[in-house]
Structure 1
Amino acid sequence: MLLEIEDLTLLYGRIQALHGISLHVNEGEVVALIGANGAGKTTTMRAISGLRPVASGKIIFGGRDVTKMRADLRVALGIGQAPEGRGVFPGMTVQDNLEMGAYTRRDKPGITQDLAMVYDLFPRLKERQRQAGGTLSGGEQQMLAVGRAMMTRPKLLLLDEPSMGLAPMLIQQIFEIITRINEQGTTVLLVEQNAQQALSRAHRGYVLETGSIVKEGSGQDLLHDPAVKEAYLGVA
């Protein structure tokens, strides 16, 4: 088991955002976390990456308790994240943005190799490598955010709403790339409002409602679950 979350609670001031959630991600899986706005999906991601302190519970990564570990040390251990809203550095070139992803690394040959891998995954970024990140389209910025996270050489890639605000054709493309990344050996935890795409490509999934996990199962089982279809897929 690569990631294990045990009975995690998290507070925003006096508001309890997560109510004792437990989930796990096995090595080599794509796991989807779906739910409505405000369900606690992004909060869960921030807890895993160390951007939000937790009130109680445990986060175990690669057999190691990282619950209180600093965010940058978690990156060095192998947790990479493409955050909600992309968060590219607008004044820096595409290449500089990607190289920022490798800031914890010292292996220059490996960084060069991974840069080539990212440009292979995202040919559009190679075409725009000298262009400022802030001048890219929304889809290109999303590619850049995922590419930058891949430059950390993650064992676990956290993707927070990768399809948000994208045209349908680009959404399809982003999900095909996520599948490729997984097939190349990276484990993926995916937060996504596009439940259809996420569950179609996930090995397993969890449904989060108001800070609690209410369902879990294989991607296909959740995709065909009547309650999930009605709530998240727009099918009664």
Structure 2
Amino acid sequence: MALLELSDVSVHYGRIGALSGISLTVEEGEIVTLIGANGAGKTTTMRAISGIRPLSGGKITFDGEDITKLRADLRVVRGISQAPEGRGVFPGMTVLENLDMGAYARKDRKNLAEDFERVFTLFPRLGERKSQVGGTMSGGEQQMVAIGRALMARPRLLLLDEPSMGLAPQFIQQIFRIITEINQQGTTVLLVEQNAQQALSRAHRAYVLETGSISKTGTGPELLADPSVKEAYLGVA
């Protein structure tokens, strides 16, 4: 049984169809990536999974349970946590306060210390800057805060929406290395990413979204080697 399953999911913004009956699965322990051009429906897919965007049709199942109509905050309790596109760091709050917000839905706050420690081990720079306010940090540092905050919920499924967007090259390498490490520690990852080269080289499986529909699926290496994917997303003719 897949950890996450989308079955024939459609989403509309008014009369405009953003997703047209997509189906995908994420197995426990995988990194699955969604690639596609701007406007293909990648962020809408993430919002549908996290409960921010209602479906016009179809079904979402998580760990065998139908969560199609479950509120977004209850999906966090079930084990789905998201680092959103644009990072969404609280600018006036410190690193520690931002991270603590990620644990708001948890009942077992007695283990928070070890979760802070996990985040600071993954992101040593955040450990050095616990008292710095989010709004004064670089884009790369804010992305670390966003991912760390999502991990504070102890998710079974981590949703990452464009984690490399707007980052300097050295941060991009670092962020993807840490995503792999998070996965190796036992967290399943669904990754939306425009940097197709990095995303596909890290993914166990991948889906290509084109104007609200899935046009291709395969392993990361298969799609990296696919001529049409190379031409469209890797800049290789």
Report the secondary structure of 2:44's partner residue: helix
- How much identity, in percent, do the aligned residues show? 73
Which consecutive unaligned segments of at least 5 residues does structure 1 have?
A: none
Which consecutive unaligned segments of at least 5 residues does structure 2 have?
A: none
Q: Give the corresponding residue for 1:198.
A: 199
Pairwise CA RMSD of aligned residues?
0.5
Alignment: residue pair count:
236
Runs of 4+ in 1 over 6 A off after TM superposition: none
In 2: Cα distance, 1:115 partner to 1:88 partner: 17
**TM-score with structure 1 length normalisation?**
0.99
Following superposition of structure 1 onto structure 2, how do residues 217-228 of structure 1 map, counting pairs within 5 Å? 217-228=218-229
In 2: Cα distance, 1:109 partner to 1:75 partner: 18
Q: Give the corresponding residue for 2:135.
A: 134
**TM-score with structure 2 length normalisation?**
0.99
Q: By how many angstroms is 1:106 displaced?
A: 2.5
In 1: Cα distance, 2:210 partner to 2:45 partner: 12
Q: By how many angstroms is 1:109 displaced?
A: 2.7
Matched, 1:11 2:12: yes
Q: By how many angstroms is 1:94 displaced?
A: 0.3
CA distances 1:184-204 after superposition (whole Å, capped 9, x unpaired): 000000000000000000000
Q: Give the corresponding residue for 1:108.
A: 109
Following superposition of structure 1 onto structure 2, how do residues 172-211 of structure 1 map, counting pairs within 5 Å? 172-211=173-212
Report the secondary structure of 1:177's partner residue: helix
Q: Give the corresponding residue for 2:88.
A: 87
Q: Give the corresponding residue for 1:45.
A: 46
In 2: Cα distance, 1:71 partner to 1:235 partner: 39
Q: By how many angstroms is 1:108 displaced?
A: 2.4
Instruction: Between 107-116 and 142-151, report the one with greater CA deviation.
Output: 107-116
Instruction: Between 102-111 and 155-164, report the one with greater CA deviation.
Output: 102-111
Q: By how many angstroms is 1:26 displaced?
A: 0.1
Q: Give the corresponding residue for 2:75.
A: 74
In 2: Cα distance, 1:209 partner to 1:182 partner: 27
In 1: Cα distance, 2:69 partner to 2:109 partner: 30
Q: Give the corresponding residue for 2:233.
A: 232
Q: By how many angstroms is 1:87 displaced?
A: 0.1
Q: Give the corresponding residue for 1:150.
A: 151
In 1: Cα distance, 2:38 partner to 2:104 partner: 32
In 2: Cα distance, 1:40 partner to 1:51 partner: 14
Which amino acid is the alignment partner of residue 146 of structure 2? A
Instruction: Between 101-110 and 80-89, report the one with greater CA deviation.
Output: 101-110
Which amino acid is the alignment partner of residue 17 of structure 1? A
Q: By how many angstroms is 1:111 displaced?
A: 1.4
CA distances 1:103-137 after superposition (whole Å, capped 9, x unpaired): 01121232111111000000000111001011110
In 2: Cα distance, 1:33 partner to 1:152 partner: 23
In 2: Cα distance, 1:105 partner to 1:24 partner: 26
